Structure 1
Amino acid sequence: MTQLPVPPECLQGSNPQTGLDNAQLAGRRRQFGDNDVTEARQRRWWTVILASAADPMLWFLLVVSGLFFLLGDTTEAVVLLLAIIPLLGMDAWLHRRTQASTEGLATRLAAQARVLRDGQWQQVAARELVPGDVVEVVPGDWIPADGLVLDEQQLQVDESSLTGESFPVRKQAIARQANPPTQADPAQWAHAGTRLLSGTARLWIVHTGAQTRYGEIVRLSRATGQARTPLQQAVSRLVRWILLAALLLCLLLAVVRLVQGHGLIDALISALTLAVAALPEEFPVVFTLFLGVGVYRLAQRQALVRRAVAVENIGRVSAVCSDKTGTLTEGELRLVQCVPAAGLSAEDVPGLAALACGGSAHDPMDRAILTAAGSDATSTRLASFPFTEDRRRETALIQRDGQLLAVVKGAPETVRGLCGIDAAQYQPWQQQLDALAAQGLKVIGCASQLLPPEHDPSVEPAQGYALAGLLAFGDPLREGVREAVQTCLQAGIRVIMVTGDHPLTAGAIAAQIGLGDGAPRVVSLDGHHDQALDADELTAADVIARAAPGQKLQLVQALQARGHTVAVTGDGVNDVPALQTADIGIAMGQRGTRSAREAAAIVLLDDNFRTLVNAIAEGRQLFANLQRGFAYLLLVHLPLVLSAALIPLAGLPLLYLPIHIVWLELLIHPTAMLGFQQHSPPGLERRRPVDGPVRFFPPQAWWALLLGSASATAAVLAAYAAGLHWLGNDTDPAGSARTLALVVLMLCSVAFLAVLSGLAGRMPRLIAGAGLASVALVQLPLLSPLLQVQPLGPAALALALVLAGLTALAVLPLRRVLAGPH
C-alpha cells in the first residue's frame, strides 16, 4: 500500500511522551497558524449590491422610471422601481447560499481537544492545535487534525464522510523509534473530519488547518464555485439584446419624430412609450415565478430546492454520479447472510457470535450481530480477549446453563486455524467464502467449544474449537433503488456509482441495481490519487471505486466537457467539491452532513433515490413550461415593439398610447406567468436527453419564433392599414386604425396562449376568456372614450378574427418543435 509522507518540519523537535512546551508552541503557531480549515472572508452587504450593479436590467429600470417621474407619471415610475426588488433579493439569496456551503464544513470538526503539553493533559480549543501536539481521542469524538497513531486499543474509525468507505477502518500504531518517521502507512493515520468508533487513540498531530485532507476538500470547494446555469446565461443574453435594441429604437424614433416636426414633447413621449413596450421586465419576473413554482412542486415530491435556478437544470440531466453509501444503500452494516455448520441453524450462529461481542455500542459489526441475535439473559461473561490486528479474533468465556463455553469470532483463516481444519475439509467453506467475498460482503467466522469446569478463565483457549459457521455483512440496497436506476437508464440518463469502497463491494452493488446490464465496468482508482486520470476511461465506467474527492471532481468535469448535464448525489464531506461543481448537486436530507446539504442545490428530504427520478420528471415539465412562457413573451413582444416603432417612423400618428401599453401589459403579464403552468405527467418521461451543449431554444424553435412573430407583426400592420383606409371611421380614421390594430394584437395574444398551452387546464382557459373579454371592452360605448378606442363594425371584427386565426396557424410549427426533446 502507498506510504504517505510525513514532513520533517511538522514533528522535528517534538516529544510524543511529554508533548510540546510553551516555547515550541509559540513558534509553531507562528509557523503553521491556527487549526482552522473553514475560515472564510465574510461577505458584506455592499458586496451583494456591487455584484447586482453589473445587471443592465437594473440600470435600465432606474433610468426609465426616472424619466417617468420627470414627466409626472408617478404610477408607471413606481411600478418600474418595484420591479427592482425581486432582482436584488435573488442576488442576495444566491450570494448567501454560496457562503453557507463553506461554513457548513465546520460541523464535522472537533470543537475541543485533550492535548498533552509540558507533560500535563489539558483541554483546549481544537483550533489551537499545532503540528507536534499529542492528543487523546475517545469513542464518539471527532478527530481534530491529521496525525499518526501512537497508541491504540481496538481502534476503529468511521471514515465514510471523508472517503465513502462504508465499513469501519481499523488503525494501527506506528513503531517506536528514536526519530520521527518520514512516512507512514495509511492505516497508521487518523484524519480530521472522521470519527472514532471504538478504542482510545493517542495521536501525534502532523497536519492542521488547510494542510489536512479535510482542508483540501475546503480548497476544492472554494475553487469550484457554482457556475451560472445555461438558462441564466440565455436569459441574460436575451435581456441584453432586447435592451440594446430597445435603446436604439427609442433613440431612432425620438430623432425621427423631431425631424418630422412633431416637437420635443411628442418625441420624448414616443420614445418612452416605445421603451415601456420594449422593456423586457417580464422575462426576469416570469423566470423567478416559474422557479418558485418549481420549488413548491419539487417540495411536494420530497425534494427541497435550495437554489431555485437548479429547477431548470434538473429536467435536462443526462448523467447522474451517485454516491453509494447512504444513497443507493442504507448506510448501515447489516448481517445479510449466514452459512451454518451441519447440525446448526442460521439463527444459532449469530447467537453464538453475539456471546463473543465486546458489547461496544460504537462497533458497527457488533451492533449488526447483536441486532440479529437479540439479547441473551441466561449467559454470564467471565472473561474477554479483545480483537487486535495481530490476533484478528475476539474471544469470550461464557457461563451458560451450568457449562463453561468458549466462543470466538474473527477472520475466517484465523478461526480455521483454531479449529484445526485441514485444506480438504475446509474446501467447501472456502467456496462459500469466495462466493460471499465476490458479492462484496465482509465475512467473519465463528466457532465455539465446551471447556472443563476447572478451566482458568484468565487463559484463552488456542485450539479445540468447532466451526459454527460464516457470517456475511453488507450495506443493503435501499428499497426501490433498482427500479429507480432502471427508470433513469430507460430515460437515457447515465448512472455512474462513485464510491470510496472496495471495487468488489462496489461492483456487487452495481450489479444488483442493474448497471452495465448486470456486468458493470468497474474502475478502481486505488493508488492513483496523485496521478492524472484518463477522462475517457472515467466517463466510460459504470463504477468508480476508491475515489478521492478530487477524482470525483475530475469525473464531473470530464462528463461536463462531453456535453452532459451532470447531477451528483452524496451525503458526506467528501462529496462537497463535486456537489458544487455539478450542474445539479443533490444531497441526502436525513443522513447528509450539513456541509453537503449547504453545497447542494437540491436536498432529498426522504433520502430516497427514487425521489430523484420524480424530481427529474417534474423538472422536465417545468422546463417545458418555462420554454412556452418565454416563447409567448417573444411572440407577443416582437410585434408590439415593431408595430409601435414602424408606424411612427413612417410619419403616422402613434400607434399605441400610454393607456394602451398599460392595457396590453395587464393582459401579457398574467398570461406569461399563469397560462403555462401545466403539471407533469406521472413518472419520468421516456425521451432521451439531447447530446452536446444544452440550448434554451433549439435552432428550429428560433426560426418558428421568427415566423410567428413576423406573422403577428404583419397582421397588426395590415389591420392598421385597413382601419386607416377602408374600415375606419371617416371622422377619425387614425383612431379606428389604432383600435383595430390593438384588437388584432390582443387576439393574437389569446391565439398564442391557445396554441402553446393547448388550453389544457383551468387557468389557461380562464386567461383566454379574460383576453376575449378585454377585446369586448372596445365595443362598450361608455368605456371606449376612457380607453381611447372606438367600437368596431362587423367587417372590422371579422377581419381581426381572420388575421388572428392566420397568425395562430403560423405558430403551430413552434408548438411541434417545443414538444420535442430539449
Structure 2
Amino acid sequence: MRRVVPENRLLGLGTDEAGLRSDQAASSLREFGPNQILPDRGKTWSVIVVDSLRDPMLWFLLVASALFWVVGERVEAAVLLLALIPLLGMDAWLHRRTQASVAGLGSRLAVQATVVRDGQSMSVPVEALVPGDMVSVSAGEYLPADGIVLWCDSLQVDESTLTGEAFPVRKEPYLPKIAGQSIDEVHWGLAGTRVMTGEARLRVVWTGAETLYGEIVRSALAGTHSLTPLQQAVAHLVKILLFIAGGFCLVLAGLRLQQGYGIVDAILSAMTLAVAALPEEFPVVLAIFLGAGVYRLARRKALVRRAVVVENIGRVTCICSDKTGTLTEGRLELAHSLPAQHYDAALLLETAAAASRSDSNDPMDQALLQAATPPPAEALRACFPFTEDRRRETSLWATPDGLRVAVKGAPEIVLALCSLSEDEVDRWMRDVNDFAQSGHKVIACAAGKLDTVAWDGNEPVTGLTFSGVLAFEDPVREGVRESVQACRDAGIRVIMVTGDHPDTAAAIAREIGLGQDGLRLVTGEMLDAGADLNGIDVVARAMPAQKLKLVRSLQAGGEIVAVTGDGVNDVPALQAADVGIAMGERGSQSAREVAAIVLMDDNFRSIAGAVAEGRQLFANLQLSFQYLLMIHIPLVITAALIPMLGYPLLYLPIHIVLLELIIHPTALLVFQNVRTGRMPDRPPSTGARVRFFDAGQWWLVGAVGVLVTAMVSGAYLYALQAEYAVEHARSMAVLALVLAGSGITAALSGMRSGMAWVMVAVPPLALAMVLVQPELGELFHMEAPHVDDWLLVAGCGILTGLMVLWAQGLKRRSVAAHSLP
C-alpha cells in the first residue's frame, strides 16, 4: 500500500516541535471538515416506511387483504393484514442493524487525541484533528487518523482489522520531504489501528471519510439489502398467478352475463374464482419456511440475523474465507525449536525468554514467556529493545558468575553477531528460509557472558554464542481440513483471502487441503491487474477494497458467494456477499452486525452443515410450492372452466373455504420436515437469478395439474350426465380434488413424517363423515356419493400419486446417469 501525499495537505505547516498554530488548525478544519470517520447515524421512520413500500410482497398482502374484505372473508383479510407486522418489523430491524453496525465500527476509533498546537501538547476531541496536526500516540492507544510516522521508538501496530495481518506490524519513521511523495505502508499510521508497543509522532494527512477506515465504513453503508433471488422468484410467480386469475375472473363474469345467468350469478362466479385463485399461501409458506430454517441453522450453531437469506446459503457455490481467526486461531504459537550444537531445546527457550520483556504486548514475547520462565525481574541489569535499524533485542541479567547476555531477533542479524563459519551461516539460513516459506515467523537467539566489572554499559555485540532458531505459527483450527473437503464434495469452491505474505498463505492453504491439483495463488495487486479468477485457491496481500472486488468479480462470473470473516477489514466483503458469515466468538461487532449469518462456535465446519440445511430448506420449499401449484391449477381452472361451459357453478364460497382448510396446513406443515438423507442438489439458477423449478419440475407440475383438472371436471360432468343432482356432482368433484391432493402429498413427502400421514388420511375421512350426515351435506350443498362413485374418486387419488412417484423416479435416474464419470 503506497499513498501519495497531496501538496495542499501540508502547506504552511509549523515545525515538528511546535505543530500547527490555532489559526492554521481553524483554516484547515474549514477546508477539510471535522475528523468524523463515522457518518451521522440512523434513519428517520419516514425513510424506513418509504423503503418498505418498495417491497412487492407488502403490496401483494395489502391487495389480497382488500380483495378478501370485499368478498366478505373478513378473517382472511385480518390475517393478511397481521402478516404486515413481521414484514414491516423486518425492515425496521434491518435499518436498526445497520445502525448497530456503524456503532460497532466506532468501537475501534480513538475519542481523544494528543496534539501539539501553538507549541503546547494538549488533548483535543478526535473530531478536531485536521491535516497537518502533529499527533502523539503510545502503547495501547488507537490511532485517530491516517498520518506519516515522523518519529517512533520500538513502534509495533496491530493492523489486523484493516489488513488481516496476524502479527503486529513494525513501523519506521519517514524522513525525506513529505508532500508529493509516494510513501510506503511501513511509514503510515492508520486510523482504527492500535499501538502494541512503543510510541510515535505522526503528521496527520487524511481525516474523516478519507482515511482507509473511513473508506471501509462507506463501503459497508453503501451496500443495499435488495430482494433475494428466492423472494424475486416468489414475487414473480405470484404476479403471474394474479394476472391469470384476474383475467379469468373478468372473462368468467362476462360469459355468465352473456349466458343469461344474471348479474348476481356473474358476480358470485367471479368472486368465487377470485377467492380460489388468490395465491396467498405462497408468501405465507415462504415466511414460515424461512422461520423454520432460522431455527434449524441455530441448532447447527449458525445464528441467522436476516431470515430471508436462509435460502441463499443453500445456493452457495463459492466460499471466500478470511484466514486469520477463521481458518487459523489468530494467535502465535511456538511450533519448532532448532537448537544449535551443544544446546538443547529447553536452554534455547530459556535464552529466548530471557531476551523478552514481561510487560510487552508483543504476541511473540507472550508466547515465549508462556513456554519458558525468564530470570527474576530484580536480576535485570539492562535491556536494549528491538528497533528497526538493529532488528534485535538484548537483555543482561545478573548471575553469581557475572552478567548473562540473551539476544533474540532477525536470524541474519543474530547470526552476524556470532562466531560462525560461512558454511554454518549458510546452513542456518537455509533452515530459516525453509521455515519462512512454510508460513512461519522465525527468530534466532544467541547467548553470552560478561564480567560485571568490565562491562562498559553498552550493548554487547561480540563474544556471543549462537543458540538456535525458533519458528512460530498461527495454528490451523481443528476440523478445518475436513470442512474444506466437505465443501468440495458438495461442489463448493473455497478461496482463502488474507492480507498475509504469499508464502505464509500458500503454506496454510496446503495444510487445510486447498489446491490439491496444484495450488493457484494470486495477490491483491494481481487481482487489481485483472488476474484470471478461474480456479484460484488463495488471494494473498489482499486489502479491503480488493476483497470487495474479488466478491463482485466472482458474482459477475455467476458464482453465489459466501464470505467468512471476523474483522472490520471484512465488513465491505461481508456486506456485498450473497451470504456474509461472521465469526461470533472472535469476530468484531461490526462483522457480526453486517453479516447475515454468525457462526456461534467460530467453527468453519459449521458452514458445510449450514449449506446442507439451506439446500434442504429450498428442496422442501420446492415440494411445498409444487403441491400448491398442483392443487391450485385444477382448482382455478375447474372453477373457471365449468361455469364458462354453461354448467352450474362447481364451487361455492364455502367449498373454497373447505379446500383452503386442507391446502394451508398441508403446505405449511407436511413439507417442513422432509429429509432426503443426503445433501440435496443445489437450487437451479442462472447466474445470480434463481430458477425456482427446473424444466422437469415445471413439466411435472403442468402434467399433474392437467391430469387432476381432467379428473375433477370428468367426475363433475359424469355425475351431471348420469342425471344426478348438482349437489351430487359437486361432491364427486370436491372428493376427486381432495383425494388427488392426498395422493400428491403422499408422493412428494414420501410419508416421512407423522404430519404427512395425518394430512393424507384425515381430509378425505373428514369429508366422508360430512357427506354421510344429510344435515351437514345440506349445509355444504353436497350429497353422499354412491359406492361406485367412491371407487372412482379413490382411483383419481391413486393415479395422481403414482404419476408423481413415476416422475420423481425418472428424475432420480436422470441425475444418477449424469453424475457417472
TM-score by length of 2: 0.94
Native 8 Å contact 2:64 2:278 kept in 1: no
In 2, Cα distance between the equivalents of 1:690 and 1:272? Answer: 36
State the SS of the aligned residue for 2:429: helix
Equivalent in the alignment of 1:810 = 803
Equivalent in the alignment of 1:716 = 712
Give matches, 1:508-657, under 5 Å: 508-517=507-516, 519-526=518-525, 531-534=528-531, 537-657=532-652
Native 8 Å contact 1:704 1:813 kept in 2: no
In 2, Cα distance between the equivalents of 1:441 and 1:54? Answer: 52
Equivalent in the alignment of 1:366 = 365
Deviation at 1:485, TM superposition (A): 0.7
Deviation at 1:296, TM superposition (A): 0.5
Deviation at 1:264, TM superposition (A): 2.9
In 2, Cα distance between the equivalents of 1:396 and 1:28? Answer: 46
Native 8 Å contact 2:487 2:494 kept in 1: yes
1:787 is the counterpart of 2:780: yes
1:743 is the counterpart of 2:735: yes
Deviation at 1:685, TM superposition (A): 2.6
Residue of structure 2 aligned with 1:754, choices 710, 728, 746: 746
Native 8 Å contact 2:448 2:463 kept in 1: yes
Equivalent in the alignment of 2:248 = 249
Equivalent in the alignment of 2:126 = 126
Native 8 Å contact 1:139 1:199 kept in 2: yes
Deviation at 1:612, TM superposition (A): 0.7
Deviations 1:18-53 (A, max 9, x none): 222332222222211122233157432233333333
Deviation at 1:778, TM superposition (A): 3.1
Report the more deviating stretch, 125-134 or 612-621: 125-134
Alpha carbons of structure 1 residues 225 and 18: separation in structure 2 relative to 1, 3 Å? same
Equivalent in the alignment of 2:702 = 706
State the SS of the aligned residue for 1:154: strand
**Unpaired stretches in structure 2, ≥5 consecutive residues:** none
Report the more deviating stretch, 109-118 or 187-196: 109-118
Deviations 1:498-552 (A, max 9, x none): 11100000000001111111741111234x58x4423xx2333111111122221
Deviation at 1:68, TM superposition (A): 5.1
Report the more deviating stretch, 752-761 or 455-464: 455-464
The one-letter amino acid of 1:793's match is H
Report the more deviating stretch, 330-339 or 247-256: 247-256
Deviations 1:135-159 (A, max 9, x none): 2222222211101112211100111
Deviations 1:335-354 (A, max 9, x none): 11110112322232122111
Deviations 1:771-814 (A, max 9, x none): 23333233331422233322121111111111122222232355
In 2, Cα distance between the equivalents of 1:269 and 1:134? Answer: 82
Equivalent in the alignment of 2:426 = 427
Equivalent in the alignment of 2:161 = 161
Report the more deviating stretch, 95-104 or 661-670: 95-104
Equivalent in the alignment of 2:758 = 766
Give matches, 1:666-705, under 5 Å: 666-678=661-673, 685=679, 692-693=686-687, 694-705=690-701
Native 8 Å contact 2:409 2:443 kept in 1: yes
In 2, Cα distance between the equivalents of 1:714 and 1:470? Answer: 83
Equivalent in the alignment of 1:74 = 74
State the SS of the aligned residue for 1:590: coil
Native 8 Å contact 1:747 1:775 kept in 2: no
Alpha carbons of structure 1 residues 518 and 386: separation in structure 2 relative to 1, 3 Å? farther
In 2, Cα distance between the equivalents of 1:814 and 1:91? Answer: 40
Deviation at 1:61, TM superposition (A): 4.4
Deviations 1:260-304 (A, max 9, x none): 333333322322221121111111111111111111111111101
Alpha carbons of structure 1 residues 585 and 64: separation in structure 2 relative to 1, 3 Å? closer
State the SS of the aligned residue for 1:462: coil
Deviation at 1:98, TM superposition (A): 4.8
Native 8 Å contact 1:274 1:641 kept in 2: yes
Report the more deviating stretch, 279-288 or 376-385: 376-385
Alpha carbons of structure 1 residues 55 and 404: separation in structure 2 relative to 1, 3 Å? closer
State the SS of the aligned residue for 1:155: strand
TM-score by length of 1: 0.94
Give matches, 1:217-256, under 5 Å: 217-256=216-255
Equivalent in the alignment of 2:172 = 172
Deviation at 1:592, TM superposition (A): 1.2
Alpha carbons of structure 1 residues 55 and 489: separation in structure 2 relative to 1, 3 Å? closer
Equivalent in the alignment of 2:201 = 202
Native 8 Å contact 1:563 1:691 kept in 2: no
In 1, Cα distance between the equivalents of 2:468 and 2:157? Answer: 27
In 2, Cα distance between the equivalents of 1:382 and 1:411? Answer: 23
Give matches, 1:362-401, under 5 Å: 362-374=361-373, 376-377=375-376, 380-400=379-399
In 1, Cα distance between the equivalents of 2:93 and 2:256? Answer: 44
Alpha carbons of structure 1 residues 503 and 800: separation in structure 2 relative to 1, 3 Å? same
In 2, Cα distance between the equivalents of 1:803 and 1:626? Answer: 25
Equivalent in the alignment of 1:662 = 657
Equivalent in the alignment of 2:451 = 452
Equivalent in the alignment of 1:37 = 37
In 2, Cα distance between the equivalents of 1:327 and 1:599? Answer: 17
Alpha carbons of structure 1 residues 71 and 280: separation in structure 2 relative to 1, 3 Å? closer
**Unpaired stretches in structure 1, ≥5 consecutive residues:** none
Deviations 1:208-239 (A, max 9, x none): 11111112222333444344322111111101
Give aligned-pair identity as a percent. 51
Equivalent in the alignment of 2:135 = 135
Deviations 1:600-645 (A, max 9, x none): 1111111111111111111111111111111111111111111111
Native 8 Å contact 1:164 1:574 kept in 2: yes
Native 8 Å contact 1:378 1:400 kept in 2: no
Native 8 Å contact 2:696 2:811 kept in 1: no
